[in-house]
Structure 1
Amino acid sequence: MPSKDPKISLNDIKKNIELARQFVADLSLDDFLNDRKTFYAVIRALEVISEASRRLPESFQEKHPEIPWADIAGAGNVYRHDYEEVLETMVWQTVQHSLTALEKVVQEELDRY
């Protein structure tokens, strides 16, 4: 049964942001677009981030309105159910730019524990 402890979800988000970034660290966009294994690994990390964010209490999400929680959850649905709609360039942009604010909030909250 999934844990109700927000710290577990926060750690899962942090770990998978780090993994996604490690997977693409030495790649150019062209390299990434031609590396199916890395693409699939990054998608898996983003799926975990999405699912872990869903497990955070609503009060936590309300405390951080600067984070697009619904978009994060929605992206996970696309990765899992509408996978043929996933654009590799959007995945690249997500890892390169869109995770920064989430990572900051997660780290700040973990520092409070």
Structure 2
Amino acid sequence: MPKDPTIAIRDCLAEIAVLHEIEARTTLHAFRNDPIVRRAAAYAIQTISEAVRRIPDDWLADFPTEPWGQIKAIGNRIRHEYFRVDDAILWEIITTDTHALKTVMEAMLARHAGDGPTPTS
């Protein structure tokens, strides 16, 4: 049975909440100097990236203003080019991009809350 895509949306929202907590607790300067918080943020962004890959393309197409390709790609970049990921880019994602993404994910979840897979007889 295919997984319910709303699980991926909820995963995104949970990781966005982590990122917003990081934003509330720190500044860019402190973020740059705290390897634990940077790793937590990178992991949360990777998780969002992976979860978005599990949302059907037609659901994503309903929200064409979101940079879905970039969201999907950032996880690979963090995993494979971790040494080249700029803290300022992570901070921008945390402080700007996730706020819009949260609104989109909440709207997507509301739209598809009853669209999960149906059990087979």
Structure-2-length-normalised TM-score: 0.87
Q: C-alpha distance in 2, partners of 1:64/1:44?
A: 24
In the alignment of these two chains, the number of paired residues is: 112
Larger-gyration structure (1/2): 2
Q: Give 1:61's aligned amino acid.
A: L
Query: What is the match of residue 29 of structure 2?
Result: 30
- SS state at 2:14 partner: helix
CA contact (8 A) 1:24 1:38 kept: no
1:33-68 residue CA offsets vs partner (Å, 9 max, x unmatched): 100000000000000000000110011111111110
Q: Aligned runs of 1:84-103 on 2, under 5 Å? A: 84-103=83-102
Please report how far the alpha carbon of residue 111 of structure 1 lies from its aligned counterpart in structure 2 after TM superposition.
Answer: 2.6
> Which residue of the partner structure matches residue 80 of structure 1?
79
Maintained 8 Å contact 2:31/2:37? yes
Deviation beyond 3 Å, 4+ runs, structure 1: none
CA deviation profile, 1:66-107 (whole Å, cap 9, x unmatched): 110000011111011111110001100110001122110111
Q: What is aligned with 2:108? A: 109
Task: Give the alignment of 1:40-79 within 5 angstroms.
Answer: 40-79=39-78
Q: What is the TM-score of this pair, normalised by structure 1?
A: 0.93
Give the letter for the 1:92 counterpart.
W
Separation of aligned partners in 2, 1:43 and 1:77: 11
Distance apart, 1:24 and its partner CA:
3.1
- 1:17 CA displacement: 0.4
Among all aligned residue pairs of Structure 1 and Structure 2, give the percentage whose two residues are the same amino acid. 33
Higher-RCO chain (CA-CA 8 Å, sequence separation at least 6) = 2
In structure 1, runs of 5+ residues without a counterpart are none
In 2, Cα distance between equivalents of 1:67 and 1:4? 23
> For 1:102, what is the secondary structure of its paired residue?
helix
